[in-house]
Copies of this chain bind each other. A is one copy, B any other.
Amino acid sequence: MNEQKPKAVILLSGGLDSATILAIAKTSGFDCYPLTFDYGQRHRIELKAATAVAAHLQAHPVKQITLDLRAFGGSALTDDIDVPKDRTELTNENDIPVTYVPARNTILLSFALGYAEVIGATAIFIGANAVDYSGYPDCRPEFITAFEQLANLATAAGVSGEKLAIHAPLIDLTKAEIIQKGSALGVDYGLTHSCYDPVDDKACGACDSCLLRRKGFDAAGVPDPTVYVDV
C-alpha cells in the first residue's frame, strides 16, 4: 500500500504545530518521512518528542540532522542570553522577535529539499504560522511561495519535470484552530513539547511559546495535557 502513496518530508520539531502537520499530511494520503534538527537549541527535549510523535502517527522513523546555528550567533534560542518571559520584551526596534533564528526556515527547508530529492518525495510540510509569529519574516505566505519556486529550479526533480509542493497548512490558523484541527485528527498533544526554557523536562509555563500554547488550549476548549512547573 505505502509504495503507491506519494512521499512527503515533514519538518517535525516535536512541538504542537509540527505534530499537527504530520497528522494532516497522513490524512491527506502521504507516506510521511519526518525530518528533525538538533541545532544547538536549548529545547533538546523536543527531539525526543519528535520521535514519540512520529511513532504515534505511524510515520517513518525520524531522520535527524545535526546543525550548529550557534556558529553565527544572533538569537536567544541558540545564544547564551535569557529567553524573554514577557511578550512585550520579545521584539527589538524592527519588530523582529529576539527569539528569531537567522534564516532558520530557509535552512530547514533546504535540508528538507535535499532529503525530498534523495527519497523522491513530491511534497514538504512545514508548520510555519503567520498568525502567532507575525514578526518572523520566514513565516509569511510569500516566503513559502518563493521557496516552492526555488525548490523547483534547484533540484534534479525540477529538471526532470516533477513538481515539488511546499505545504504550510497552518499558516493562517490561530493556535486554537490548530489545536482543534489536530485533536479532530487524533493527535496526542501530551507527546508534544513547545517550551523554550524547560525545567526538568517540564514546561516553564511562562515563556512566549508556553503562553501561546496555554491560551490556545483555553480558546480551543480542549484540555491542556502539558505538565507545567508552576501548576
Known: A137-B159, A154-B103. A146 touches B143 (CB 8 A): no
Query: Could you say which residues of chain B place their CB within 8 Å of the CB of A95?
Result: 159
B155 engages A137 (CB within 8 Å): yes
Partner of A72, one of B106, B114, B151, B155: B114
Q: Mark A43-71, 1 if CB is under 8 A from B, else 0.
A: 00000000000000000000111111101
Closest B residue to A69 using CB positions: B114
- What is the size, in residues, of chain A's interface with B at 8 Å between Cβ atoms? 47
CB distance from A49 to the nearest CB of B (A): 20
Known: A64-B71, A74-B118. A153 touches B146 (CB 8 A): yes
Query: Could you say which residues of chain B place their CB within 8 Å of the CB of A71?
Result: 63-65
A186 at the interface (CB under 8 A from B): no
Q: How far is the CA of A155 from the CA of B136 in the complex (A)?
A: 8
Query: Could you say which residues of chain B place their CB within 8 Å of the CB of A117?
Result: 74, 102-103
CB distance from A2 to the nearest CB of B (A): 20
Partner of A114, one of B102, B150, B153: B102
Q: How far is the CA of A142 from the CA of B150 in the complex (A)?
A: 9
B143 engages A153 (CB within 8 Å): yes
Closest B residue to A97 using CB positions: B156
CB distance from A103 to the nearest CB of B (A): 3
Q: How far is the CA of A64 from the CA of B68 in the complex (A)?
A: 10
Known: A117-B74, A159-B96. A106 touches B67 (CB 8 A): no
B94 engages A103 (CB within 8 Å): no
Query: Could you say which residues of chain B place their CB within 8 Å of the CB of A155?
Result: 102-103, 137-138
Q: Can you pick out 17 interface pairs between chain A and chain B where the beta carbons lie within 8 Å of each other?
A: A74-B117, A74-B118, A94-B160, A102-B115, A102-B117, A103-B154, A106-B150, A106-B154, A107-B114, A137-B153, A137-B154, A137-B155, A137-B156, A142-B153, A146-B146, A146-B154, A149-B149
